[in-house]
Structure 1
């Protein structure tokens, strides 16, 4: 447990460092680089993510699910699961590469008018997608070796440092656009090489292509598992990236980056979600094993209370200071079109956080297929809604599509847990916290201070004092109260 706790703390620290570097990088791109160029690199990531989902043919999910059997039953030189995954990935990538050539004319028709850079640098997508595919493959393999810190450091910090370095080289004129794109297409190659060297030095880069007895025994289960989840995984990735692809196709790469910038701002609301999920999964799994439904209900409510409290705080701080923040950053006028997107996506994240860990409750139970089919519904809604609503409302339509599809997803999970187990995430405290947040927002929004710096600081202080103070006074959140008591004790010691 000590090792797990230490690695969790270190990985969380790396994530926050990476997020900070990413924020600097995103700001530099927004202020100093043409939005069309910045949008090109977000387009690269969207395409590579889809290529990854298609190319691995579901093999990585199978490895993550069944690797413990190989680890327990076979010595490293006889574990063929990584060899099988590599074979599937190579086969899938060859098919996807053929797709790049087959669909080239379609890409030219769709992107040739609004996003000419996509057509100009189209074939750079192939090496970028190749290195992305195999970096994620060995990243997952590394996790299965209980070596998580290095891939997390590379993905969360290394990638963003490289992005920042390339951005500075381009901004200063050392790299021209063609050289910038070439270097960017190799960026995951650098991460992949570093990870391979690390695994080799750790003596973990050991595998075989000879079919083992474990594979023969588990083959039918692995095929069934893969057949069930592969379609959902592909649809999920497409749904998550359809907004960027559709915007880039019809409105240009610049508007695609405006949407990405707005998404990044709204993502601030999700910062604590990873750690809460990571902590809750093993506890939930044990509670299901012990049939301790009261513990599951307690985790459900407490996670909802904590995540909802944090989400409201950050969302309303962002929204009440949105004009002051944009004024201070002095961004191009095009980014003002992203303000409604920030509001819609921010509201979406608040709703998502209010449902707590209901996805993890279902996923760790024997009813994981409910989670899978609810995801299919979400993704099935997200794709057509993104296309239809974008035509009506532009990038605000894409944000609305994401809000609607995620809300439906949350309601399905909520309904299943309520009707099956009578689990309920919300209490009267949830309503009281919402009332405090809304009243605090309107109080602070009525404060009119012309200076954007003073306005941002003063409004934020007043809102945080009102919001946190009333939650503490009325004891509406155990985690907020415990966190405050911990900080207060440490301050008193000093």
Structure 2
């Protein structure tokens, strides 16, 4: 337990450092001034991420979850030199990437046709995206190996901190005219390859794994089960990644300003996604607890987790969203954000609503996923994608980038409504109570008090006063109305520690 706790602490520190560097990078990408990046140039870097991750997901062929699942069987029954799981974990995704390259070249004329009019910059650097996607693939395979050896800090450092630091170096080189944008984007395209080489070198030096092409008896025994698992998870992963990246790719292809709009939308999504940061942490914590509760058939515990995560995530999300929306206009001004990005303000609002819907409905996906009805989670993913893709296309054509935000609100509202209905129908579980309505009323009241009191104040003064008062009113309301038991428990812990000093 000590090792797990230590690695968790170190990894958290690394992630927060990476987040800080990433925030600096984003600001440098979007700030105005001489030598600044244009929205189109920033948009291209975001498209590299979205298309690169899509390439990686398609190429992986579902192999990496199979590596995690079956590694204990290989490790317990084979020596290091006989363990061929490392080989197949690398070779199969690499063969998958060959197929991705083949598909990318075959469909290149179609890509050129769809993007050349409004996103010519993407067409110009289309082949470099393959290098970026290849780097993500190799790094993620090596990250998988490092994780199964329980060395999680190193890949987290390389991915969360080192990648962003190298990006910062490239940004500064561009700002000081040491490299052109052409040089910047080509070097940016190989950053994942660089950190993959570093990780691979360290893993090889550690002598934790080796490659062999001799098929082991473990592979012969489990190959069908591994293939079944990989195929099933592969389908779900494709659905997940498409729901995450389809909007920016569609915007670059069909919106009025193409890749410029993609850059504006990416910034809006970055701001709105801040609401989901606590949700990711809570998901990781609740999964093992839910698994145990299902095993013990402890429905009261599952219902408690469902309602508790719903109200906690809703409150945290409302706190973040209210704070952002109160001062977003002044923030754009004091941070000298380029005027073009103001077109994304509406997008931030509606994407924020979509993230609140997803957070405020609690861990319904994890409850379904850890139950015997886990296949329904895959089905809801199919429903989400079936609704999201055509709706996104239609609304972007009709309303521009804010149409994609509308699509997110509608799709995730339907998606979560189906899961809420399913859990109620099957298990009589539901996430809401009277505290949910009180939380919304508290947020609206605190927001308008702060807005009207300081509406004539601008700059840092307005931001600090609005944010401070909103925080005080919100937190005081949470405790006064006892909206969540966790807040009161946290207060008791703080009191006890303070009194023991």
TM category (shorter chain) comes to over 0.9
Q: Point out where structure 1 has 5 or more consecutive residues left out of the alignment.
A: none
Shift of 1:272: 1.4
Contact 2:61 2:231 in 1 (8 A): no
Shift in CA distance, 199/342, structure 1 to aligned 2, threshold 3 Å:
same
Instruction: Describe how 1:49-448 pairs up with structure 2 within 5 A.
Output: 49-250=53-254, 251-447=257-453, 448=455
1:410 aligns to what SS in structure 2?
helix
Shift of 1:154: 1.2
Spell out, residue by residue over 1:67-97, the C-alpha distance to the aligned partner (whole angstroms, 9 max, x if none).
Answer: 2322333333222222112221121111111
Q: Point out where structure 2 has 5 or more consecutive residues left out of the alignment.
A: none
The TM-score with structure 2 as length reference comes to 0.94
Contact 1:385 1:401 in 2 (8 A): yes
Spell out, residue by residue over 1:223-254, the C-alpha distance to the aligned partner (whole angstroms, 9 max, x if none).
Answer: 22233232332232223211111111233222
Question: Which residue of the other structure, out of 467, 471, 478, is the alignment partner of 2:478?
Answer: 471
Q: Kindly report structure 1 stretches of 4+ aligned residues shifted beyond 6 Å.
A: none
1:403 aligns to what SS in structure 2?
helix
Spell out, residue by residue over 1:103-143, the C-alpha distance to the aligned partner (whole angstroms, 9 max, x if none).
Answer: 22212211112112112222212222211111111112222
Shift in CA distance, 478/201, structure 1 to aligned 2, threshold 3 Å:
farther
Structure-2 separation of matches of 1:298 and 1:6: 29
Shift of 1:212: 1.7
Shift in CA distance, 209/403, structure 1 to aligned 2, threshold 3 Å:
farther
Matched, 1:450 2:457: yes
Shift of 1:421: 1.2
Spell out, residue by residue over 1:146-196, the C-alpha distance to the aligned partner (whole angstroms, 9 max, x if none).
Answer: 221111111111111111111111111111122112211110011101111
Structure-1 separation of matches of 2:348 and 2:367: 29
Contact 1:236 1:376 in 2 (8 A): no
The TM-score with structure 1 as length reference comes to 0.96
Structure-2 separation of matches of 1:41 and 1:280: 34
Structure-1 separation of matches of 2:55 and 2:71: 24
Shift of 1:397: 0.8
Spell out, residue by residue over 1:346-389, the C-alpha distance to the aligned partner (whole angstroms, 9 max, x if none).
Answer: 11111111111111112222222111111111122221111111
Shift of 1:207: 3.6
Contact 1:52 1:133 in 2 (8 A): yes
Structure-2 separation of matches of 1:366 and 1:398: 34
Spell out, residue by residue over 1:414-457, the C-alpha distance to the aligned partner (whole angstroms, 9 max, x if none).
Answer: 12211111112222122212211111112112122332222111
Report what 2:8 is aligned to.
8
Structure-2 separation of matches of 1:356 and 1:140: 28
Shift in CA distance, 484/169, structure 1 to aligned 2, threshold 3 Å:
farther
Structure-2 separation of matches of 1:493 and 1:459: 35
Structure-2 separation of matches of 1:299 and 1:72: 35
Contact 1:115 1:248 in 2 (8 A): yes
Contact 2:115 2:122 in 1 (8 A): yes
Structure-2 separation of matches of 1:491 and 1:169: 48
2:14 aligns to what SS in structure 1?
helix
Segment of structure 1 superposing worse, 106-115 or 253-262: 106-115
Structure-1 separation of matches of 2:428 and 2:265: 39
Shift of 1:485: 3.9
Question: Which residue of the other structure, out of 470, 475, 490, is the alignment partner of 1:483?
Answer: 490
Shift of 1:488: 5.0
RMSD: 1.7
Structure-1 separation of matches of 2:234 and 2:206: 31
Shift of 1:266: 0.8
